[in-house]
DNA sequence: CGACTTTGACCCGCGC
DNA sequence: GCGCGGGTCAAAGTCG
């Protein structure tokens, strides 16, 4: 086995440390609840927990959390309205927000996002091309009423000088937009594989220009065309790592297994020479966890740095993806 | 010549 | 109703 590139080897031998993964908190300031919010089987029908994750990444869980201070601005307000989000970043460990006060609010956020997201994705291309605008509008209106389950989204914070990181899949850039209040544009990519509608957005954090924010949306329905290192697939699919063997093929293991392997491997491969590191966590379901609610009520002074509106979109509808 | 990128235009939802 | 911003389209350009 090529131990130098095998994340399992790293994790099992505790050779990953903060020098090799600087995005992990310097003082082990993660809260177990934060991880459980994301991996809580009761929420997602899965059996991952902070321990397995922490073991996997040499990450310790304790109960302290650093509070990040930054001015509250409009973007921050958007975060609040967008719901819950947990994110690991290099300096501040976990930025935790669960300022929605009720599940109803959280649900509404998802609904609104679904509505906003629908747009052209739901519009048949033919209608636009044949020029029958009246007919097209009517059909579009009808389509808008149909609720479509939103694809899960995951954002990665990566220390890299390269914007578009090689993740093993082939992507075609289909758009680029200037980001408000940021000198760095946001790029839009689509998986080039036919019938695979996975998208990703890449933008550079304007607060930390060394950090690239990559947001994946959807799941690949095919194998990685360029298998860089296959070990991470095993890693993220492994019951020994992610808990129960009784869990079926469901999110997030499968998703992670499809999404992360080459990406993680890429980071592992590059971390020595590029200081490039990555991780993301997000969770809209924290609000459903009473313990977390209490904790977050106690942390209402917690504040986010601005992210120019990207992270507010990280609200996957996990509920619709749970095991039947 | 095919695959991919660039970039202005367009559509849509949302807030005011 | 209007303007803004996010997301997407698609023609033109670039590259190997």
Write the CA distances from A216 to A58, A123, A146, A185, A292, integer angstroms. 24, 22, 24, 17, 26
HSE-CB for A144 with a 13 A CA cutoff: 12
Cα gap A60→A14, rounded to integer Å:
12
Per-residue pLDDT of chain A (324 residues; tens, 9 = 90+): 333 333 222 233 332 232 222 232 222 233 323 323 233 333 333 333 333 333 333 333 333 222 222 333 333 333 333 333 333 333 333 333 333 333 333 333 233 333 333 333 333 333 333 434 444 434 444 444 444 445 667 777 877 777 776 777 889 999 999 888 888 889 999 988 877 888 889 888 877 888 888 888 887 877 776 544 433 333 333 333 333 333 333 444 455 555 554 444 444 344 333 333 444 443 333 233 334 333 443 333 333 333 333 333 433 333 333 333
CA A84 to chain centre: 13
Q: What is the total residue count of chain A?
A: 324
What pLDDT does A225 receive? 67
- Of A298, A264, A318, A316, the closest CA to residue A33 belongs to A298
Q: Which residue is nearest to nucleotide C4 (CA to C1')?
A: A180
Residue A312 (CA) to nucleotide C7 (C1'), in angstroms, measures 15
Residues sharing a CB contact under 8 Å with residue A224, sequence separation 6 or more, in sequence order? A168, A169, A258, A261, A262
DSSP structure string for A151-197: PPEEEEEEE-S-SS---SS-EEEEEEEEPTT-SSEEEEEEE-STT--
Residue A20 (CA) to nucleotide B4 (C1'), in angstroms, measures 34
Residue A220 (CA) to nucleotide C7 (C1'), in angstroms, measures 21
- For residues A86 and A282, the answer to whether their CB atoms sit within 8 Å is yes
CA–C1' nearest nucleotide, residue A309:
C6
> Which domains are assigned to chain A?
153-222 (2.20.25.80)
Residues 127-166 of A with CB under 7 A from strand B: 137, 140, 144, 164
Residue A13 (CA) to nucleotide B16 (C1'), in angstroms, measures 57
CA–C1' nearest nucleotide, residue A312:
C6
- The pTM (predicted TM-score) of the whole model is 0.49
- For residues A242 and A236, the answer to whether their CB atoms sit within 8 Å is yes
What pLDDT does A220 receive? 80
pLDDT digits (tens, 9 = 90+) for A191-220: 888 778 888 898 888 778 888 888 888 878
A290-297 and A32-39 helices, crossing angle to 10°: 140
pLDDT digits (tens, 9 = 90+) for A18-32: 222 223 222 223 332
A223 CB and strand B closer than 7 A:
no
Residue A52 (CA) to nucleotide B3 (C1'), in angstroms, measures 42
The token pair that represents A31 in the structure block: 């809260």
CA–C1' nearest nucleotide, residue A310:
C6
């Amino acid at each position: 086995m090529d131990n130098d590139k095998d994340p399992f080897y790293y994790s099992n031998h505790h050779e990953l440390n903060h020098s090799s993964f600087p995005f992990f908190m310097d003082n082990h300031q993660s809260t177990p609840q934060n991880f459980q919010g994301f991996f809580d089987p009761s929420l997602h029908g899965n059996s991952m927990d902070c321990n397995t994750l922490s073991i996997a990444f040499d990450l310790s869980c304790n109960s302290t959390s650093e509070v990040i201070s930054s001015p509250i601005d409009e973007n921050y307000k958007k975060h609040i309205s967008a719901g819950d989000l947990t994110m690991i970043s290099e300096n501040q460990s976990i930025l935790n927000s669960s300022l929605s006060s009720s599940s109803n609010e959280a649900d509404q956020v998802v609904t609104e996002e679904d509505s906003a997201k629908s747009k052209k994705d739901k519009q048949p291309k033919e209608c636009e091309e044949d020029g029958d605008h009246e007919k097209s509008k009517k059909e579009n209106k009808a389509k808008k009423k149909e609720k479509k389950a939103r694809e899960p989204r995951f954002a990665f914070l990566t220390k890299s000088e390269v914007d578009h990181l090689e993740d093993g899949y082939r992507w075609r850039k289909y758009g680029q937009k200037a980001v408000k209040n940021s000198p760095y544009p946001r790029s839009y990519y689509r998986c080039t594989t036919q019938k695979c509608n996975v998208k990703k957005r890449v933008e550079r954090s304007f607060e930390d220009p060394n950090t690239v924010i990559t947001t994946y949306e959807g799941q690949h329905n095919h194998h990685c065309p360029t298998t860089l290192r296959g070990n991470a697939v095993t890693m993220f699919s492994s019951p020994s790592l992610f808990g129960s063997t009784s869990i079926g093929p469901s999110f997030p293991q499968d998703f992670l297994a499809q999404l992360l392997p080459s990406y993680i491997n890429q980071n592992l491969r590059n971390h020595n020479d590029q200081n490039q590191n990555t991780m993301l966590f997000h969770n809209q379901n924290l609000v459903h966890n009473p313990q977390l609610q209490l904790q977050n009520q106690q942390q209402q002074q917690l504040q986010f740095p601005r992210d120019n509106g990207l992270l507010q979109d990280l609200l996957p509808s996990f509920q619709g993806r749970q095991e039947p």
